[in-house]
Amino acid sequence: MCDPTAAHAVLADDDRVDAFFLDPLTDVPVLRTPPDRGKPTWRFYAPLAFPANGTELASAVLHHIVWITTSDGHVPPAPYTPTEHLWWGNGRGDRPSKAATVIDTLLDDLGAAVELREHFNASKGLVSLRNEEREQGTKLTRSPLLQARMRPPCTH
């Protein structure tokens, strides 16, 4: 827990807040609102990048957004900019290519800044993997992600 900052105030958007936090890995502001139907709501900003501390991407978890598990046990949301959202599944437009670009970048260097301007150049195998319908909470470990990055997309 921490004292609220200006970033917390923007995130709160005049709603009631139970507690304020800072993510220990990224220093991203997090807040918790009072329970609604028995469950509190957590709000946070996604990081723009992770600290370069020698860890690597262990897996990507698909649960509403893309979460990254690191080799040292952290589970932050995947980095992206405020104007983006990392989707997966058989969607329209550029949704899987953005998520594939983030995963592709983080497989090489967890501390790299993710650049989405060229997301249409993402690994076709990763885009194909991201384009599949998956259950909430699906975990894709490092090995299948690396394999997908190296293979051409499926053509059904």
- The boundaries of the domain holding residue 83 are 57-150
| Predicted local confidence at residue 8, as pLDDT | 94
From the list 131, 125, 120, the residue with the least C-alpha distance to 149 is: 125
Does residue 87 sit in the same domain as residue 23?
no
| Predicted local confidence at residue 88, as pLDDT | 65
Does 106 reside within a domain? yes
Domain count, the chain: 2
Does 1 reside within a domain? no
Does residue 27 sit in the same domain as residue 67?
no
In tens digits, what is the pLDDT along the chain, a chain of 156 residues? 999 999 999 999 888 999 999 988 888 899 999 988 788 888 888 888 888 788 999 999 988 788 999 999 988 888 887 777 776 666 555 567 888 889 999 999 999 988 888 887 888 888 877 667 777 888 999 999 999 888 765 554
Does residue 118 sit in the same domain as residue 70?
yes
Does 155 reside within a domain? no
Does 31 reside within a domain? yes
Does residue 111 sit in the same domain as residue 75?
yes
Does 51 reside within a domain? no
Does residue 101 sit in the same domain as residue 132?
yes
Does residue 73 sit in the same domain as residue 141?
yes
pTM of the model: 0.79
* 3-class secondary structure per residue, the chain: CCCCCHHHHHHHCCCCCCEEEECCCCCCEEEEEEEECCEEEEEECCCCCCCCCCCCEEEEEEECEEEEEECCCCCCECCCCCCCCCCCCCCCCCHHHHHHHHHHHHHHCCCCCCCCCCHHHCCHHHHHHHCCCCCCCEEEEHHHHHHHHHCCCCCC
Does residue 122 sit in the same domain as residue 85?
yes
| Predicted local confidence at residue 131, as pLDDT | 67
Does residue 22 sit in the same domain as residue 82?
no
Strand partners, 140: 60
Does residue 69 sit in the same domain as residue 146?
yes
| Predicted local confidence at residue 95, as pLDDT | 67
Does residue 84 sit in the same domain as residue 129?
yes
Does residue 109 sit in the same domain as residue 142?
yes
Strand partners, 65: 63
Does residue 39 sit in the same domain as residue 104?
no
The angle formed by the CA atoms of residues 22, 98 and 64, to the nearest 5 degrees, is 55
